[in-house]
Amino acid sequence: MRWESWPHGEAFLKEWEQLLSHKRIPAAMLWVGPEGVGKTPLAWTLAQALLCPKGDLAYACGTCGDCQVVAKLEHPFFWLLPPTGGGKPLEEALPLFRQALSQDPFLSLSEWEKLLLGGRGSLSIGVEEVRHLQGFLTLASTQAVWRVVLFWHAELLTRQAANALLKIVEEPPERTLFLFLATRVEALPATLRSRCQIKKFPPLSAQVLEKLAGTSLSVAQLSLAQGSYSRLRRVMDPAQAPYIEALRAWLRALLQPAGDTDWLPLIETLAQAPQLSDLLLMGVSLIREHPHLSLPQKNLGIDTFLRVADEIEAHLNPLLLLAEATVTLRQYWQKK
């Protein structure tokens, strides 16, 4: 795996080489940024560099047995902790996660949830998974090698699991690196954040998105993607097109005088969207850039969309949530 293959790869490599030159490798790193900006493949590349016996902790040879096993996400010293749920234990979920990530390094959380739970249920990284990790780290190793622990979507750590991690992150075994990948830094307890070196990954530029997509993108596509390659792929998915158009039509209807638009068919269509919470997050960008909304109106719209997205993630009735949002936004947006 090559650094230059991924967004932010060359920039991060320079930072990593500087840490190596000063012998200041942190025990724990917290990488924060939107989905689809390259955090996961970069973490994967870093793990390969650390675990390659022929490399120099920055570059892996890519051909040795260790590199090939890391490329399959099956190295015994590369410990993966994805969120699970639905009563499925980690050992049952891991083979599926390895396969999904191998096929798509930009795998999104909603895609993983649909794959693991069929879109029904909630995901988390619980205290049992952390206890398994502690057992893994206490195993004596006969090799002087690194161990890399990757928490994928660490914002889903339960409070109990995060507390159980504090001591082992503060006093880690020698040559162990904890990598926490998260979309929101505030989702992790301050006590855990304080033990990590934090790096923020910005959204991807239009040029990078077009390079990844292999085609030119419209202004509307870039706006909905919000700098995320994972989100861009959903925007470009033909199956998503009718729901994106329903979202646009719904926003237009909210600004029309009362009685001019029948909004019920629009929200009925939206409610059937397979990834409605993600679609609403895309809609946030449409509200931000709307030319006819005042700043207070935009703020209310954004807050409403984010709240509805969160409640849909909690498996509340999407049709009722959209109807409630319609009433709230119409009342406020129709005011002079």
Tens of pLDDT, residue by residue over 152-164, are: 999 999 999 999 9
Domain at 3-202: CATH code = 3.40.50.300
Predicted confidence (pLDDT) per residue in 292-307, tens digit: 888 888 999 899 988 9
Each domain of the chain, given as residue ranges in start order, spans: 3-202, 237-333
Instruction: Give the number of other Cβ atoms within 10 Å of residue 249's Cβ.
Output: 16
pLDDT exceeds 80 at position 261? no
Predicted confidence (pLDDT) per residue in 90-147, tens digit: 889 999 999 999 999 999 998 898 899 886 668 999 999 998 888 778 764 545 678 9
The label of the residue with tokens 């870093």 reads 46
* Closest to 132 in 3D by CA, of 187, 163, 89, 98: 89
Predicted TM-score (pTM) of the model is: 0.84
Q: What percent of the chain has pLDDT over 70?
A: 95
Q: Which of 95-104, 255-264, 322-331 has the highest mean pLDDT?
A: 95-104
pLDDT exceeds 60 at position 269? yes
Give the strands of the sheet with 176-182, arranged side by side.
78-81, 147-151, 176-182, 28-32, 197-200
pLDDT given at position 143? 55
